[in-house]
Chain A
Amino acid sequence: MLLSTKNILGTKELTKQDIQQILDTADSFKEISTRAIKKVPTLRGKTIINLFFEPSTRTRTSFEIAGKRLSADVINISGSTSSAVKGENLIDTARNLEAMNPDILVVRHQCSGAPALLSQFVDCPIINGGDGSHEHPSQALLDLLTIHSQKGDLEGLKVAIVGDISHSRVARSNIKAMQTMGMKVCVVGPPPLIPPEFESLGVEVSHNLREAVKDVDVVMVLRIQLERQNQGLLSSLREYSNYFCLTSESLAKARDDVLIIHPGPVNRGVEIALDVMESPRSLILNQVTSGVAIRMALFYLLLGENNANPN
């Protein structure tokens, strides 16, 4: 069975069956990364281009490793080395790359909607590797895989997402994916970082971390970007931490088996305390491992099971 969509632009377009299939496929790929020889010939002869207009280590590397473990050829192009610095328009850049016949384009861009724009001009499948404040679907899927591997069935689980919800593509992708999977989401942060419209997306809004984490299964902590302070959205990181840093104290009322996740990179001591980060409840490194499996699954499913070489 193939996915219902040709591109992975956001979790909004994915059905429950799509997500379930991606998680199942990723689950079966996990084992490959534990082998002595971490490579299968599944996508031999396929070309994947990572087109990254924004700095990224984790996501880019994860896509690269995922492609290589499936024997695809992976090419990385970053914004600063591409023709964008010479003033080339995004569409022209992508069309030129497409003329070299890649099989998948992974795009990260600082502008919301850039991958959607590209998808109108290129024929090969596009995976959104994070666009502005819009979506970061592979991150949400790897978060689900991480939670799924600990909790099993996702239906009915409660998640608190803490931090700068307003500017977070991770929050948006997760809210949509989690809702599709029947999970309940509460977003937590100071009002300037949570526009009131989030309530109409069907999530609960809280400004009290201690109360919000009381009976949730998962707490997802988001990175606070330092520049928000200059934009007047925060008075200071110190003040933010006083109310929203996830510490053992703010977790006092939380359940013992609560899971802690964070998409990284972490500002230690700002949004999450060191001891919480390193506690057994923290799955931050499991997320990174899940990321490779999820991206392998996306490549595999987009290129089509029939299209790929047998394992």
Chain B
Amino acid sequence: MLTLIKGGRVIDPANQVDGSFDVLISDGKIEAVAPHGKISGSKTKDALVIDAKGCVVAPGFCDMHVHFREPGHEYKETIETGSASAAAGGFSSVAVMPNTSPVNDNRSVTELILSQAKKTGLVNIYPIGAITKGLKGETLSDMGELKESGCIGYSDDGKPVMDSELMRRALEYSRMFDLPCIQHSEILDLTRGGCMNEGIVSTELGLKGMPVEAEDIMVFRDIALLRKTGGRLHVAHISSGGAVDLVRQAKAKGLPVTCEVAPHHFTLTEEACLNYDTNAKMSPPLRTDEDIDLIKEGIRDGTIDIIATDHAPHDLADKQVEFDNACFGIVGLETALPLTLKLVDEKIITLQKAVDLLTHQPCRIFKLDKGTLGVGKDADVVIFNPDTKFTIDPEKFKSRSKNSPYKGWQVRGKILHTLVAGKSVYSDHNA
């Protein structure tokens, strides 16, 4: 089974490739990447040809922070619908957070997730195991067993590990397995009852705020612990400009800390909550223009390592309620590329760097043999047209949930094909 993707601009940051290349796929693996027209005709005979003229051909995107809700909350999303959403967004690999029901804190849940993923067979699913049993923040989960079952990192995401002693032990023990501890950085004492950023908008709306200091203090604490323990700290969905600064300082000292940002934290501010729009309710909350500027600076100078969506599907029943009672989070997989390209439009980063943040960098941090078009690697490929303009319509999302604040946004950057191990898992109807 041969596939030839020809005439596109290949951007493969893992191999420092950017130019007009053809990509030949054989039996699910990358067979050759060569300048346009240089792969010999004898090799490409009988190949299915995908014309990528005017498009970017890149390694399939890798999102290290999604919630697929299975097991337990299948009415919001399943591994199948989440995978379809990922494929439609150009993602060939995703890491699923453990806050399912039951929680992924042991081998049986990890294996269930992997077996569901195999059955669906759309994209690569990498489970993340809980740091503490039941996400209760009381006792460490069996980190060794979780790794052996297939987990690629540890997190209590949705909740922080509040107990400093426990976080210290988690960082220490995880060293044995060389996997990152991913922290949802939030001092709960400061955010209790809060539902949006604390500031001028929360004051005006009469909503309980979540001060930015809740994030800064937790990031500071974890970095302090990391200095003592070693291990690897990955700061999830950074939203505070101050926290970006803390990570920058820690990196300058050579500490093994990395961080991610979600597209909503560099495209929206707290003002999106005006009119009590529950699709703008997320945790960490949307912050201010000042935070966005500092986040963009962090993306520009490399302090922020990767872009991850924090894809958090919620049913209408969980969102079409009083702001106080609405669930936190938005779906993100199908808007990630166009929102990331806004950074290119604003000249914060190059298109090449944008692809890097979505492919090579996440795989470097999570040590996945993905995010590359290297010869012999799995043929996980995305083809997108960066110039195609369209209007975001959540009703058209493949995700089971439609909770997006981006409805009606005019954006550019359309996914045309997503391939996983050489197999097409998504094709745009009009492509």
Stretch of A110-118, A238-246, A269-277, A286-294 contacting B (4+ beta carbons < 8 Å): A110-118
Known: A113-B276, A200-B200. Contact between A91 and B206, CB under 8 A?
no
Segment at the A interface, from B1-9, B65-73, B290-298, B317-325: B317-325
A interface size (C-beta, 8 A): 22
Contact A132 B320 (CB under 8 A): no
Contact of B205 among A90, A113, A198 (CB under 8 A): A113
Q: How far is the CA of A198 from the CA of B317 in the complex (A)?
A: 34
Complex Cα distance A198/B209, Å? 14
> Which interface residue of A111, A116, A134, A200 has the most chain B CB atoms within 10 A?
A111
- How many angstroms between the C-alpha atoms of A36 and B106 in the bound complex? 77
The CA of A135 and the CA of B204, in the complex, are separated in Å by 9
Using A89-B317, A112-B276, A113-B276 as known contacts, say yes or no to A132 and B203 having CB atoms under 8 A apart: no
Interface 1/0s, chain A 171-182, versus B by CB < 8 A? 010000000000
A112 with B203: CB separation less than 8 A: no
Give the complex CA separation of A109 and B204 in angstroms.
17
A133 within 8 A of B: yes
Q: A172-B206, A197-B199 are in contact. Are A91 and B325 (CB under 8 A)?
A: no
A90 cross-chain contacts in B, Cβ below 8 A: 321-322
Contacts from A to B (Cβ < 8 Å): 89-91, 109, 111-114, 116-117, 131-135, 169, 172, 195, 197-198, 200-201
Task: Check A198/B203 contact, CB under 8 A, given A89-B321, A113-B276, A113-B323.
Answer: yes
Q: Within 8 Å of chain A (Cβ to Cβ): is B40? A: no
Query: Measured between alpha carbons, how far is A167 from B57 in the docked complex, in Å?
Result: 54
What A residues does B206 contact at CB under 8 A?
112-113, 131-135, 169, 172
13 additional contacts (CB under 8 A) given A201-B203, A201-B204: A89-B320, A109-B322, A111-B325, A113-B206, A113-B276, A113-B322, A117-B322, A133-B207, A135-B206, A172-B204, A197-B199, A197-B203, A200-B200
| CB atoms of B205 and A134 under 8 A apart | yes
Nearest CB in chain A: distance from B366 CB, A: 39
Chain A min CB distance to B19 (Å): 51
3 closest residue pairs by CB, A with B: A134-B206, A113-B276, A133-B206
**Mind listing 10 A-B residue pairs with CB under 8 Å?**
A91-B320, A91-B321, A111-B323, A113-B205, A113-B276, A116-B276, A117-B323, A135-B206, A169-B206, A197-B203
Q: Is B16 an interface residue (CB 8 A)?
A: no
Number of A-B contacts (CB under 8 A): 59
**Minimum CB distance partner of B203 in chain A:** A197
Which residues of chain B are near A133, meaning CB under 8 Å? 206-208
Is B430 in contact with chain A by the CB < 8 A criterion?
no
A112 to B205, CA, bound (A): 7
Of B207, B208, B209, B322, most buried by chain A (CB within 10 Å of CB) is: B322
Complex contact A111–B324 (CB within 8 A): yes
**A117 touches which one: B200, B208, B276 (CB < 8 A)?**
B276
Contacting residue for B323 out of A112, A169, A198, CB 8 A: A112
| Separation of A150 and B378 alpha carbons in the complex (Å) | 81
A89 to B200: give the CA distance in the assembly, Å: 29
Q: In the assembly, what is the distance between CA of A113 and CA of B200, in Å? A: 16
Task: Give the most central of A112, A135, A195: most B CB within 10 Å.
Answer: A112
A108, chain B: closest CB distance, angstroms: 13
Could you tell me which residues of chain B, from 202 to 221, have a CB within 8 Å of some CB in chain A?
202-209
A113 x B203 contact (CB < 8 A): no
A201 to B321, CA, bound (A): 28
How many Å lie between the Cα of A172 and that of B205 in the bound state? Answer: 9
Closest to A12 in B: B204
Residues of chain A within 8 A (CB-CB) of B317 are 89
**What's the Cα separation between A121 and B408 when bound, in Å?**
21
Q: Which of B177-212 contact A (CB under 8 A)?
A: 198-200, 202-209
Note all chain B residues with C-beta closer than 8 A to A132. Answer: 206-207, 324
Chain B residue nearest to A132 in the complex (CB): B206
Contacts of B322 on A, CB cut-off 8 Å? 90, 109, 111, 113-114, 117
Which residues from B are CB-within-8-Å of A134? 205-207
Cα–Cα distance between A12 and B51 once the two chains are bound (Å): 56
A168 to chain B: closest residue by CB: B206
Set of chain B residues within 8 Å of A114, measured between Cβ atoms: 322
The reply on B275 being an interface residue by CB < 8 A is yes
In this complex, what residue of A is CB-closest to B189? Answer: A232
Which residues on the A side are within 8 Å of B324 (C-beta)? Answer: 111-113, 132
Shortest Cβ distance from residue A163 to the other chain B in the assembled complex, whole angstroms:
15
Residue ID in chain B nearest A197 by CB atoms: B203
Residues of A contacting B205 in the complex (Cβ-Cβ under 8 angstroms): 112-113, 134
A195 touches B203 (CB 8 A): yes
Complex: how many Å from CA A114 to CA B209?
17
| A89–B207 CA distance with the chains assembled, in angstroms | 20
What is the minimal beta-carbon distance from A95 to any residue of chain B, in angstroms?
A: 12
Which residues of the partner chain B approach A201 to less than 8 Å between Cβ atoms? 200, 203-204
